[in-house]
Amino acid sequence: MTRKLGWFLAGGLLVALLLAGVVSNFASGSPDGLDATAREGCTFGADGEITGGTCMAQRERDHQMKDSPLADYGIRGVHNEAVSTGLAGAAGVLITFGIGAGGLWLVRRRERKAA
């Protein structure tokens, strides 16, 4: 790997970590497009619970992975919500980068064997 490519990848990883770890805490808490569409047709109480009407959200169930370490955009066991969200974002970036780097390593290894 050339030196310039290494610096480029390191810089990209740093930017991604900063965005995931810091900026993710400023994301909107409002429902996204899918959630808003699923909630159309229902009425909601002050606590956000469905009080009437008919909508897709009434059939909503907990996910099978709801108790996983990175569930609900946070890290289980970290009680500060901002820190938990930032750490989960950074963990997601590192996991994704690791999978990508591992895949690239496997492809390059296969190409060397073929040559």
pLDDT digit of tens for each residue in the chain (115 aa)? Answer: 688 988 999 999 999 999 999 998 888 777 678 888 899 999 999 988 899 999 998 888 888 888 888 888 889 889 998 999 999 999 999 999 999 999 999 998 888 887 6
The span from the CA of 36 to the CA of 115, in Å, is 53
Of 78, 85, 110, 103, the C-alpha closest to 27 is 85
- Please state the domain count of the chain: 1
The span from the CA of 60 to the CA of 34, in Å, is 13
The span from the CA of 8 to the CA of 29, in Å, is 33
Q: What range does the domain containing 7 cover?
A: 3-24+31-114
User: What's the predicted TM-score (pTM) here?
Assistant: 0.70
